[in-house]
Chain A
């Protein structure tokens, strides 16, 4: 039983990391908090849902579509909103993303109704692997594998490619990066777009096993904030590791201490860690 709980927690951790990887780019690398990150996830889920609903497309096949839609959303969020307020004093940029999150959530409710929707047909739907006493849901397994692949891809992109190095340089010192000939505005917009693409993939994958509704991104984005802070700002691998820690804490803690406390335990762990390591477990 305990083994099943731990395995479930690890799988959930991978799912959380899918959402957190995109956030760690914008928050950790570019130091911009995107409160609409959860709503980007919701848009990814709806993209998959509508491709399924209108064209009967499997959510896994609609991943490129969801990724593209949310990439464009992220890109234009920067170009049309963040860019205008990024140098404004105080918390203007942060509040702008907060406003965007409310707008997207309410628009979704207005256009698509607040109904909870599910995708009932997919090649992975209702499939499971039973290993002795352990049951592994195939949709969660697919999400977990995708999470690892996506994390590695983003890590490789940021660490090994020219554009990725430009992102790092912009994150370290925007003005110096400019002097080195990096078009920092393009880098910012691109990073927002990549962050959106990541969460768009997460949306399409999670749509196979989570309810889709206008509020569906809210809780995941809150957990993603904790994961990014716990993993160390800007540390892509750190986000993956801390997501797994959060997943196990939630599952095991909920089982041992009562399921009503499972999120309280997650935030307790977070508070303890930042007291000891303010820059997160894997921060530098």
Chain B
């Protein structure tokens, strides 16, 4: 049996190598796919593919994103006159004879290869006219390359790696602020804390997962330090890259503790960031600030899991429950979402909700499912988005949403409070962490 097991392992290795070779060959063979068809006939149902991590290590987030897209589907296909936003009042897509929208979900299991093959399946077998997803930037990257190859619009919701919009793809757009924008946002927030509260934040540590999302975020920190913020007194003192599958973070936290950064930039998912916080407490790591890229911190489970230990962490977020009272439409959408998910909207869920609304709105504005015309609508229109603090979405030439939809939120007494920019403030920021023993 042991010998057989060893042989099986070797066989699996050879098989996976052969498979990756085959995959490359397939890409080369299908480099010239047929142009997407322009159907003239009446459309009853418009199919859109939605690829998320529905199983695997990020499934807890992926399931919430699925609920967000189902919320969009319900709003589009039903009649919701109480919502002051496009596609809500009438059932279906008015410019396509009130055709219904159907989102076809696929699971990428946090695996880029699976994301790629699911994108191909959705386009070739399910005949979807557009794609949204995939949360993980590492999965969005190959899936959107497939969409580009087939000339199918891809609207990414919450994937934040700036590299995604630096590839010159014609059929790719993204709603969330990218990590380039987020990094500058973080430094400006730290400057605000220093200027307003004399926080004395100078040294930076970066802790990030070893994938597209984490690595690119870390690169953006280096870029912004070199280009601007080093000259303003900021300095990076530690860089901790950790593996995707993680059994413990003892060593990672020890490295951070040794470097004593004033602020830690985290690019982590929910499981990782929760383990980090536990270890920060155990090893008594007390930075002045911890700011989180769009990821695990924004998941409300962060607060549920950590209780009072979750307080005083910060991060960019497309929304916060504390903003619902100020934004009527968002509040009403959240009620629909909450019935499905049992929790309030978080930032990534709202961004993926927006991606579903935008692609449906673009199809409606184009009045056709012809992918080229839909893409033209995506690139040229200004989409109403009353659920975002920015109120609208407009994609630039590179496909990036030009209106940053984020605010800085901080966990205070178990709630996400919008703390910056001051215009959207629901609570003042608490500029430095109290010692763990004083909580």
Contacts and interface: CB of A to CB of B under 8 A. Distances in A.
B242 A117 contact: no
Nearest to A128: B282
Interface residues of B, number: 40
B228 interface: no
B254 interface: yes
B35 interface: no
Interface string A228-248: 000001000000000000000
A146 to B, nearest CB: 17
Contacts of B240: 259
Nearest to B246: A219
Interface in A112-166: 113-118, 120, 126, 128, 135, 137
Given A135-B283, A213-B271, A114 B59 contact: yes
B301 A250 contact: no
B207 to A, nearest CB: 9
B260 interface: no
Interface in B176-232: 210
Interface stretch (B1-9, B84-92, B130-138, B399-407): B1-9
Contact of A4 (B5, B8, B245, B254): B254
Contact of A5 (B247, B251, B282, B306): B251
Given A33-B5, A211-B274, A255-B251, 8 more contacts: A5-B251, A8-B251, A114-B55, A114-B60, A211-B275, A223-B247, A255-B255, A263-B243
Give the secondary structure class of B's interface.
helix
B325 interface: no
Contacts of A233: 2
Given A33-B5, A118-B305, A260-B242, A211 B271 contact: yes
Contacts of B283: 135
17 contacts: A1-B258, A4-B254, A5-B250, A8-B251, A8-B254, A94-B1, A114-B59, A116-B60, A120-B306, A209-B278, A211-B274, A214-B59, A220-B247, A255-B254, A258-B241, A259-B241, A260-B241
Nearest to B57: A215
Contacts of B5: 33, 94
Contacts of A103: none
Nearest to A216: B271
A114 B63 contact: yes
Q: 6 tightest CB-CB pairs across the interface, nearest first?
A: A114-B59, A254-B251, A8-B250, A114-B60, A260-B241, A115-B60
Contact of A260 (B2, B210, B305): B210
B307 A120 contact: yes
Given A114-B55, A116-B305, A120-B307, A259 B243 contact: yes
A91 B9 CA distance: 12
Interface in B81-105: none
A37 interface: no
A31 interface: yes
A90 B5 CA distance: 10
A260 B243 contact: yes
Contacts of B370: none
A184 interface: no
Nearest to A138: B282
A175 interface: no
Given A114-B59, A209-B278, A214-B59, A12 B8 contact: no
Given A120-B307, A220-B247, A260-B242, A114 B252 contact: no
Interface string A44-80: 0000000000000000000000000000000000000
A218 interface: yes
Interface residues of A, number: 47
B248 interface: yes
Contacts of A1: 254, 258
Contacts of B2: 31, 233
A251 B252 CA distance: 9
A182 interface: no
B1 A31 contact: yes
A104 interface: no
Nearest to A28: B2
A109 interface: yes
Given A33-B5, A116-B271, A117-B305, A219 B60 contact: no
Contacts of B241: 258-260
A197 to B, nearest CB: 22
Contacts of A214: 59
Contacts of B115: none
B62 A12 contact: no
B396 interface: no
Contact of B250 (A220, A251, A258): A251
A109 to B, nearest CB: 6
Nearest to A222: B245
B248 A12 contact: yes
A118 B306 contact: yes
Interface in B298-342: 301, 305-307
B284 A135 contact: yes
A259 B306 CA distance: 24
A198 B283 CA distance: 29
A135 B251 contact: no
B281 interface: yes
Residue of B243, B246, B281, B307 with most chain A CB atoms under a 10 A cut-off: B243
B270 interface: yes
Contacts of A126: 281-282
Interface string A1-39: 100110011001000100000000000000111000000
Contacts of B282: 126, 128, 135, 137
Nearest to A130: B284
Interface in B1-39: 1-2, 4-5, 8
Interface in B263-278: 270-271, 274-275, 278
B56 interface: yes
Residue of A209, A211, A214, A218 with most chain B CB atoms under a 10 A cut-off: A211
Contacts of B210: 260
Residue of B240, B251, B252 with most chain A CB atoms under a 10 A cut-off: B251
B409 to A, nearest CB: 20
Nearest to A7: B250
